[in-house]
Amino acid sequence: MNAPEKVPAGPEPHVMHTYGRLPIALSHGRGCWVWDTDGKKYLDGLGGIAVNTLGHAHPKLVPALQDQIAKLIHSSNYYLVPLQEQLAAKLCELSGLANVFFCSTGLEANEAALKIARKFGHDKGIERPEIIVYEKAFHGRSIATLSATGNEKVQVGFEPLVEGFVRVPLNDFAAVEKVARTNPNVVAVFLEVIQGEGGINQTRADYLRQLRALCDRQGWLLMLDEVQCGLGRTGKWFAHQWAGIVPDVMPLAKGLGSGVPIGAIVVGEKAKNVLGPGNHGTTFGGNPLAMRAGVETLRIMEEDGLLANAERVGAALKAGLQRELAGVAGVVEVRGQGLMLGVVLDRPCGAVLTRALDAGLLLSVTADNVIRLLPPLILTQAEADEIVAKLVPVVRQFLAEGGAP
């Protein structure tokens, strides 16, 4: 006798259960607001995890994408794609770097950075090149980027990890100097300027300047992962620009296409000739639709002054949260820069996700105890004030109840 057919649990029986989803589905958005399929309205404090630079249904972006879709979505890299050169030229202008390779995600951009570093080492005669990476870092979930990531929880079950990484604490220059003295196989330093998944941990400006000088002395590549913190989120085009330095390799993604999948690896003179024909490639990377999304995103950001807006509104949002949460037992600090902020609590706070949802606010919790805010760069002062008004009571009540779910 056949066993009865098992009824799948949950609303997505045919989708792999790799995400801990919240129990809503979003139907549409406008600006910094989204609506679920039941008609409830939410203020988007997450921006698709730093992706929706221009918010939702931007009146300048939508017609541009509609125009491109009606012309050409994808061709292939067998042929010239003029929009690639247009976007690459703009990224080089903004960064002071030399060349760009386009892909589709931040993981792919970081993977390309690792390949560049390894080949850079081999070209110098180093048989087993090694790369300095960081505790609490996150660079992606492929086997190589997972190995570079500094989070054992996401690595468990995927061993053996890729070799060739030397891990150090963030902002500890003595640790990097020690590696420089003792390991002749190192070819690059790879880090996020602000660690996103790791808990909104900022790399100090003086530390970045020390790394730049050390890499110059050692002949290493300085590779700065700006996938989450780049593209205007801190008030400059790239977060490392606050330190007044220029990297050799810079992976980008997330906000570059305002929701259209896109990634880029931007390189300077030291790295621009490392990869040649046949060394790297992609099917979808650099497709006309993604390139148009990137070109239009950067254009609109400039036209609408979104870097200045991110700096100004982000500072006000941070100050508002600090003011309203000052002296609240269980709040450690509010940290971050621009519109990349974290409210750090003294205990795990995953339960805040659903409580914020009930209050009409989208956000995330990362590193177990950090409430992360990554709203669109079009966020207004009034909307920042509303984030404070929605989030502060949620945090206060959660802590007053002893952090119970």
Q: Give tens-digit pLDDT for 220-264.
A: 999 999 999 999 999 999 999 999 999 999 999 999 999 999 999
> Can 254 be counted among the known catalytic residues?
yes
Q: Tell me, what's the pLDDT at 192? A: 98
Q: Tell me, what's the pLDDT at 5? A: 41
Q: Tell me, what's the pLDDT at 9? A: 42
What is the residue-wise DSSP string for 261-302?
--EEEEE-TTTTTSS-TTT---SSTT-HHHHHHHHHHHHHHH
Supply the pTM of this predicted model. Answer: 0.95
Assign domain 26-57+305-400 to its CATH superfamily: Aspartate Aminotransferase, domain 1 (3.90.1150.10)
Domain with CATH 3.40.640.10 in the chain: 72-303
CA angle 29, 35, 12 (to 5 degrees): 105
Is residue 356 over pLDDT 90?
A: yes
> Can 124 be counted among the known catalytic residues?
no
Q: Tell me, what's the pLDDT at 402? A: 85
Cβ(250)–Cβ(223) under 8 Å?
yes
CATH fold, domain 72-303, is Aspartate Aminotransferase; domain 2 (3.40.640)
Query: Which token pair is 378?
Result: 């079009």
Cβ(268)–Cβ(249) under 8 Å?
yes
pLDDT band at 404 (very low <50, low <70, confident <90, very high): low
> Can 138 be counted among the known catalytic residues?
yes
Q: Name the catalytic one among 120, 225, 284, 390.
A: 225
Domain with CATH 3.90.1150.10 in the chain: 26-57+305-400
Q: Name the catalytic one among 101, 102, 120, 138.
A: 138
pLDDT digits (tens, 9 = 90+) for 65-100: 999 999 999 999 999 999 999 999 999 999 999 999
Intra-chain end-to-end CA distance of the chain, in Å: 44
Cβ(90)–Cβ(295) under 8 Å?
yes
What distance in Å separates the CA atoms of residue 7 and residue 277, rounded to the nearest whole number? 51
Q: Name the catalytic one among 119, 254, 270, 390.
A: 254
Interval 53-65 mean pLDDT: 98
Average pLDDT of the chain to the nearest whole number: 96
Helix or strand run (H / E) with residue 110: helix 106-123
C-alpha atoms less than 13 angstroms from C-alpha of 132 in its C-beta half-sphere: 30
pLDDT digits (tens, 9 = 90+) for 277-332: 999 999 999 999 999 999 999 999 999 999 999 999 999 999 999 999 999 999 99
